[in-house]
Structure 1
Amino acid sequence: MEPTRVPPVEELRSAPKVLLHDHLDGGLRPATIVDLAAEAGHELPTNDADELAVWFAESADSGSLVRYLETFEHTVGVMQSADALTRVARECAEDLAADGVVYAEIRYAPELHVQGGLTLTEVVAAVQEGFDQGIEASGGRIVVRQLLTAMRQAAPSLEIAELAIAARDRGVAGFDIAGPEAGYPPTRFLDAFDYVRQENGHATCHAGEAFGLPSIWEAVQWCGADRLGHGVRIIDDIHVKEAAGDGAPVRAELGLLASYIRDKRIPLEMCPSSNVQTGAAESIATHPIGLLTDLRFRVTVNTDNRLMSRTSMTEEFRLLCEAFGWGLDKVEWLTVNAMKSAFLPYDERYRLIMETIKPWYAERR
């Protein structure tokens, strides 16, 4: 059998891609942080943009949770005004469009951006203004929607869920919870998830990254999450009997939870580089995304925090293609997975798949 051709970087960059798990406060341009910090009087580790980029990456790679969390103190710290939020959102849309992303859902916690006096509603409006500007600047090559995140360790999860529903006609696609999994199980936020579901809304949930199967089980079976943020620990419910090789499929025994998630096509928002940084995976080459793809789970590829991981969708696919010998056919499959899983009306998802994504790959077969 002829080996699969690993796509070159430029081909991966031009390929239409779909991003479902990306944090607004984890994707700022270093030069923008320097500018906004000067305006806000916020002290940074360094005011040199290049040095700051290295500091963010090294802190995220340090293995120290304290240093990792410190990086967000600086990004969130400079995102406390409407103008700052609009600029960050605009540049986010521009950067993603330049990387070939045609659809993106960008998440952030509105409650973290009110220290400068903004209301939660004003935060959402400022971010949407930025996305609208970025979409226009890109010539409409990208569609961007917001996901509103409630922090596990804070109180107002129901308030954020209500905000997500109230703003769903103004660019908000759904609701999310994030923050420390240990000690803050998804069931603590049942009222928020119930509200979103009863209002016919969409919800994803950070689960199965720092904590194991119970977190995933609660997110799916109690909270009714439509998607799982990360979900890498589902691997704990899979026993491999025979690895794939020489054209033979992998043989594995799935536990009840893993079977349910695969059978129900519950999307996994996997973030390989970030998972390696946080210790959820040992390396890209051993990341569960390889096995889960072989087993045909609804796997999607994402960036999580582009600044901290010094990554992009192009870079994530490059790393995966090189590690697993994937070609454009696998990139297409993963991209269609993500588009099918988007919190976007069916006709819009179908149109992007049939008019933008599939034609590009068909031309290269």
Structure 2
Amino acid sequence: MTTRRLLLATALSTALLVSGCGSIADDGGGAAAGEAPPGVTDTAITIGATLPLTGTAAVAGQGLEAGLRIAADEINAAGGINGRQVELVLLDDAFAPDRVVTNVRRLVSQEGVYALVAPAGSQGLPGTWSFIAENGTPVWGPVSPGDPDLDEVYLLSATRKSQIQVAIDYYAAQGLTEIGVIRQNNDLGVSMTAALTDQLPKHPEMRIVAEQETQTGSTDVSSAVNNIIAANPQAVLLATDNTQVGLILQGLRNRGVTVPVFADQGGAGTGGPSAIGPAGAAAEGLIGGMQVDTVSTDNPDVEHWRGLAQQYSGEQGTSGFSLQTYSSLRAFAELVQRMGDDMGYANFQAVAEGLREDPISLGAIPDIECGPLPGGHTCVNQAGLAIVRGGQWQILQEFQAPS
């Protein structure tokens, strides 16, 4: 894998610890010219995230929290970012869209964070974009929402759409042409529609034999499963949350349907147990979108994270979600380090949009190559695939862009 480059501990110290903080510059977007931007002092930088720490997606949320805390501890132990210690403000949204919106507003307006790093909530984050744009607050590495093409928002992982496109290409390469689709009636389903619209014309032999919709937050997937089974597809694509992924797998496998089933990173919980744990034996053969490397790989960068994660005292420290947000915060630290003394939001955008010429390479994720709008804030277009074999996630196809 071209992105697998070893990040030595000495390199971390050199990149993050500098001799002095210097002055803080800004040009608006949260502070008047010459004033410190929100959340930044000479000694600290405060960042925030909203995460599903309780509720139906708590396993994923706890992994996302773990990665942020592991990265912050490592960065701070190495001297911080340009001498500033990272302070985290993490709020629980219980996987409820309205709470995602409330939390984002609180983080910006009351907690005064400099940026949001790896916030979760595909269903709720789009409802915050206008507020984010009004305040100019950077949103770095949000987990799985669609690209709003805003100055403030930078996607570090392949979108759900891109992951589904890569899965469609994989099915086509395997000669699987009759596909069943189950999607939720929310942003997840919108991503599925967009992926099918763009990718199916590239594979004219492929057709959708059944399309089913499930309700957000529901645990009743029986009707959708029955209708998929009746259509006798050769493979299935899912755009649902991890709870429904597990239930759908059980419904299919208990009826003897063993065809390949794909879900994106969030739904499959690739690398972790959020979907395959509840699914049990029915998870065998599940294909998950891969935004980050699998946690069991011998990739040196993953091994470095794993050593830190095994010492983490909270829940889900060694899950794939932890590796994802760990990588997001490490990338944020590298970007801010490159900004030097000018912490203004205009400089944040300028440095981020220059990554196309000088990418951030972390090894456990594809290179981060943001560019100017339109389109340039989807900083990663590649996705991989992993498969559950013997209850463990294994790499099926390494990172690549859709055809």
Mark yes or no: TM-score above 0.5.
no
The TM-score, its normalising length taken from structure 1, stands at 0.30
Rg bigger for which structure?
2
